[in-house]
Amino acid sequence: MLKPILIAGLICASALMPAHTQEVGPGTNAAPATPASPPAQTAPPAQAAANSFGSGFMVAPGYLLTAQHLLEGKELAFVGPNAQRKWLKARVIKTHANLDLALLQVPLDSPVLPLADWKDVPIGLEVFAIGYPLPAYQGFSKKITEGIINGNRSNQEDLSQQRFFQFSAEVSKGNSGGPVIASDGNVVGMVQRKLNAMSVAERSQDLAVNVNYALKSALILEFLKDTPAAAQAKPLNLQINLRPMQIYKQSESAVFFVIGRNA
């Protein structure tokens, strides 16, 4: 029998790790670079201090949601590329460290992704993750993966863990902040954490594959209240089962690369 690995906060004992920012220094090609002090619509330059990279998605016209941890300790945020292959400087509107959420205002004319009413979401639901996993290794383009909701991450000793659900769609560093989308096209959560399979394997002699965690849409909707991006929960339609290529086609223009860096 495997003992559960308890964590303080979310990443104690290296059992869980953010599926988040990929720290990339000046020697990588994860994102385009241009000269220093660019206008807002050009790509931020590579610098000696590592940039942080992740994903985000539009929740209202001109407003993008991402993971707060990828902007932590960074002075600037850039989002892109837009339809003209440009990068846009974003303004932080609201953050919540415990929920690991950040709302950015960015001048993007892009579709938005609807947020599902969590009470309608069943265990076993087919879901898809869209984002930018390991861009330095997998290339600078969006990727989609498919899986199911495996269950809730809950612990009687830590009620805060009930904010998350476990899902099996493959994610890597760079996916954090990206959406987890149900088969009807509604967002049911945000990618935030994954099990550190190597660390667990060393202790258990068993390899846990694709054990990932997302923040539930109910918490996202609560976070967006009293902001310009406030939204109503959309009922989940279990009669609609879009194929992966359909999910990607209707969602990919609302998902963007997010860069946090210092001035």
Q: Under 8 Å CB-to-CB from 168, ≥6 apart: which residues?
A: 147, 148, 150, 210, 211, 212
Q: Considering only CA atoms, which of 28, 250, 20, 263 is closest in space to residue 140?
A: 28
**Four-point Cα dihedral 101, 8, 200, 205, nearest 10:** -160
> What's the pTM value of the predicted model, to 2 decimals?
0.80
Please report, rounded to a whole number, the percentage of residues in the chain having pLDDT higher than 90. Answer: 62
Instruction: List the single range of 74-83, 184-193, 202-211 with lowest mean pLDDT.
Output: 202-211
164-to-20, 126, 152 alpha-carbon distances in Å: 16, 16, 6
Span 180-194, pLDDT tens digits: 999 999 999 999 987
Query: In the structure encoding, which two tokens stand for residue 45, read together?
Result: 């330059």
- Decide if pLDDT at 42 tops 90: no
Instruction: List the single range of 17-21, 39-43, 60-64, 163-167 with lowest mean pLDDT.
Output: 39-43
**Domain extent listing, the chain:** 112-253
- Decide if pLDDT at 1 tops 60: no
Question: In CATH, which of 1.10.3720.10, 2.40.10.10, 2.30.110.10, 2.40.50.140 is domain 112-253?
Answer: 2.40.10.10
The partner residues of 96 in beta bridges, in order of sequence, read 101
- Decide if pLDDT at 27 tops 80: no
Q: How confident is the model at residue 210 (pLDDT cuts 50, 70, 90)?
A: confident
Note the pLDDT of residue 263: 83
- Phi, psi of 143, deg, nearest 5: -125, 150
Query: In the structure encoding, which two tokens stand for residue 96, read together?
Result: 């919540």
CB 10 within 8 A of CB 16: yes
DSSP string, 67-100: -GGGTTT-SEEEEE--TTS--EEEEEEEEETTTT
- Give the β-pairing of 88-96 and 212-216: unpaired
252-to-113, 129, 171, 221, 241 alpha-carbon distances in Å: 10, 11, 16, 21, 17
Q: Under 8 Å CB-to-CB from 13, ≥6 apart: which residues?
A: 5, 6, 7, 199
Mean pLDDT for 143-163 is: 78
